[in-house]
Structure 1
């Protein structure tokens, strides 16, 4: 995207900038490259610095309900310290490393409704100007993709995905938010849970997987949530379907969350080892004065997929068109806020 808003303190004729990302989706922990194209204004200007910000749309739960906003989760200075002549064209190449826990925005090329962007900040003569957002596409790591496909093969269906402000206690979470991928239950588990939520926390040494089950209540018992945490290496050669099926069974066996009252994402204690420990907590979905939990992009827009499977549903194009529209609206709204 090109932004040509003038630096207000410089008056008419300031420099303009256009950041262009190299084509293709990036990987968490991988490189993001591109070019920052500058065009000089009606006079010479000193370029103090060119900074790229990684921005995410994040949801936050609070006592009055739920809200969403943009969160900057990384900044990189990619150039500066030079003079841009009148009318001069200059390109500044960059190659930066994405955080390992950068959220996944797509699966097999189909968007999940997660909004990420790269925003360019140009500092000229002591004044700073933030441009509009360039959409950032991130595909899953091989282990993440294998786990999602295994869930699809087991019969889980894709429901929605969002980013939640907060921290999962006892994990290696590095960012101020975490990604939840919400799935409808496979037919064989439909009588035991309402929904399955998957969170990936990647690092250079491997992948943490946090599974949360919104479990159904019985005739004399209330419904509750249960969580488990597992780890795999990035290069693990696994029978993924068997492994993931074992995780689900272990998750559903945990009953310790009855009576616990610590919300997930806000200090839930971790109990157990890296291959089968669990968190005990009261559902974070109804901890905020009865406010309903709205999951998924924007004002509750969900990406729908059939019960035939996660990967099939997403790759099959069963993605709500309004999600794609909403991504553009968010970028435009952010630019208006800056104005």
Structure 2
């Protein structure tokens, strides 16, 4: 997307341009593209070409919250790459998206608050040269899309989306973060539920759907959150009446704050105790992250609304340095 002069080689040095074959992808799919290096006035050597998947992550430490870069996949596209003066060198690459890659687009449109991209990093003379980010529009799996459509059918309104660092208790995760998509509940629950958060955790075989209803500020003086967790295979998710399941759960939450759900032969408890704590929803850091047809649903709502190491992630610079697009040597 951006052609960038490699300043490490000085004036007349090579330039690099990373091009994705398609900006659209789904979790579990392979993203392909090319790193195109245009030779400058003299021959040059690039020690290594690194490509990484990056997203924006919120990290909570006590009462403080920091937004940083989460690099959740890194691969080498080439080593000791010789660039001949005046010639174009093309290096093909492929990246397999983790199944837990956050959703950054719904209905082909960007999901507000979400950024996922491919970043190119060149190692020159032993020093890394971080490049620009090529945005990637990661859509929902078909199983996830059915859940999102149910939210639209029930009258939920999109509020926001973000990614939080941490591990969800009782849920097997590959990555050290989870995505939360927040909604305002249907009007019939006004005054009883202030918002509902949705989290997906997927692998090649199973989808975990986690719901969190926030009752703080509503008619419940004691406040607290209630949680629902459903384990289904991707095939079962396509056969599930999610509108009925979600509405039934929320109705019980609004009335009594607890209940049960049975899907795919696996029973899940959900609710809250007198302290507002999820019975199995809090992660090890104290985060409260637990939580069939194609139509306008979620897409319509979105359009209208329109550092350290954590779990293997590399948390880097503030996001403005990464997602604002480019350095002083960039030229579009």
Return the TM-score normalized by structure 2: 0.78
- Pairwise CA distance, 1:152: 1.2
- Pairwise CA distance, 1:22: 1.6
* Structure 2 CA distance for aligned equivalents of residues 23 and 219 of structure 1: 48
* Structure 2 CA distance for aligned equivalents of residues 282 and 26 of structure 1: 29
Aligned to 1:313: 301
Aligned to 2:171: 171
Aligned to 2:101: 102
- Whether the 8 Å CA contact 2:168–2:283 is kept in 1: the answer is yes
Select which of 239, 242, 252 maps to 2:241. Answer: 239
- Further displaced range: 76-85 or 107-116: 76-85
Q: 1:244 to 1:256 in 2, by over 3 A?
A: closer
Select which of 242, 254, 272 maps to 1:256. Answer: 272
* Structure 2 CA distance for aligned equivalents of residues 21 and 238 of structure 1: 35
What are structure 1's unaligned runs of at least 5 residues? Answer: 269-280, 285-307, 321-327
Does 1:90 pair with 2:89?
yes
* Structure 2 CA distance for aligned equivalents of residues 332 and 147 of structure 1: 29
- Pairwise CA distance, 1:62: 2.8
- Whether the 8 Å CA contact 1:13–1:41 is kept in 2: the answer is yes
Aligned to 1:299: none
Please list, as runs of the form range in 1=range in 2, the aligned pairs for 1:180-259 lying within 5 A after superposition: 180-216=180-216, 221-236=221-236, 237-249=239-251, 252-253=257-258, 254-259=270-275
* Structure 1 CA distance for aligned equivalents of residues 105 and 212 of structure 2: 21
* Structure 2 CA distance for aligned equivalents of residues 23 and 91 of structure 1: 17
Return the TM-score normalized by structure 1: 0.77
What are structure 2's unaligned runs of at least 5 residues? Answer: 259-269, 290-295, 307-318
Q: Deviations over 1:139-188 (max 9, x none)?
A: 00001111011111112111111111222121112222211000101123
- Whichever structure has more strand as a proportion of its residues is 2
Select which of 284, 287, 300 maps to 1:267. Answer: 284
* Structure 1 CA distance for aligned equivalents of residues 192 and 42 of structure 2: 69
- Pairwise CA distance, 1:81: 3.2
Q: Deviations over 1:94-117 (max 9, x none)?
A: 222001100001110222120112
Does 1:132 pair with 2:132?
yes
Q: 1:337 to 1:167 in 2, by over 3 A?
A: farther
Q: 1:79 to 1:267 in 2, by over 3 A?
A: same
Q: Deviations over 1:1-48 (max 9, x none)?
A: 22424243x333332211011224100111111111111222222232
Aligned to 1:46: 45
| Number of corresponding residues | 294
* Structure 1 CA distance for aligned equivalents of residues 214 and 220 of structure 2: 17
* Structure 2 CA distance for aligned equivalents of residues 139 and 127 of structure 1: 35
